[in-house]
Structure 1
Amino acid sequence: MAEIVPSFALYGAGQRYSLRLVQKMTLKAIERILMIRHILLITFTTDASTEAIEQVREAFLHIPEHIEGVQAVEWGINDSPEDKNAGYTHCVLMTFQDEQARQRYLPHPRHEALKAIFRPLLGNIVVLDYPVLPPNSSVSSAAY
């Protein structure tokens, strides 16, 4: 029997799908249509140099060139006037084409090389992943 998925998992990109459609879809069908957003909130150690942080930034930004299915990487430095960043100063937002792309990324040698230069500079990190529908997506009976 197909596994039933909560309907909230398919809300996104300005679209909403009926509970009836969601109940007919298997998890594998849903994984084929959902993109994954991967967010890192970062603080660096006080002794991390500007040059070393720049090396980490460049390594992140070049990941899509080397790992299939990593669609985009953004790097940002906090500039919110709200003072609610809880001490986090930098962020990375990655977009994976689908679950398979995320699974390729995690053990990939480029990801391991990135961690090797990143971890010694890392003060603290929060990692959050969530699924989203691709822009302009639609779900049809072919998806399940």
Structure 2
Amino acid sequence: MIRHLVLFKLNEGVERDDPRVVAGVAAFRALPEQIEELRSWECAWNITDRPIAYDFAINSAVEDTGALQRYLEHPAHQAGVALWREFATWVIADYEF
């Protein structure tokens, strides 16, 4: 199995209630119903307020590198990524477990 972690930081001046952000969150929350490669899926807002904290996180799992690639290339995932590019930056980690 491969764990796919993503941490998002909203751009300066962008708030959680911004309509673009609301649409981006909705797009990511809908992915488990659209992408069969996902074996587990969690996404949520950070609940702490620390200077080094990121704002939003995705914690997901897929079977193998092929499934990860199919997930990354899936049109629904790409559409969500395109939304988030407008208002956030992110870091990722993919590891086997």
Query: Aligned partners of 1:101 and 1:118: how far apart in 2?
Result: 22
Alpha-carbon separation, structure 1, partners of 2:78 and 2:84: 10
Deviating above 4 A after TM superposition, structure 1's stretches of 4 or more consecutive aligned residues are: none
- Measure how far apart 1:77 and its partner are: 2.1
The unaligned stretches of length 5 or more in structure 1 are 1-34, 133-144
Taking the TM superposition and a 5 Å limit, the aligned residue runs for 1:95-114 are 95-114=61-80
| Counterpart residue number, 1:69 | 37
Q: Please identify the structure whose Cα radius of gyration is greater.
A: 1
Aligned to 2:28: 60
- Normalising to structure 2: TM-score of the pair? 0.81
Which one of the candidate residues 46, 49, 52 is aligned to 1:78? 46
Gaps of 5+ in 2: none
What's the RMSD between the two structures over aligned residues? Answer: 2.0
The size of the alignment, in residue pairs, is 95
- The alignment status of 1:130 with 2:88, answered yes or no, reads no
Q: Which has the higher contact order (CA 8 A, sep 6+)?
A: 2
Q: Which amino acid aligns with 1:107?
A: E
| DSSP-derived class of the 2:39 partner | strand
1:44 alignment counterpart: 10
TM-score by length of 1: 0.58
Q: Secondary structure at the match of 1:117?
A: helix
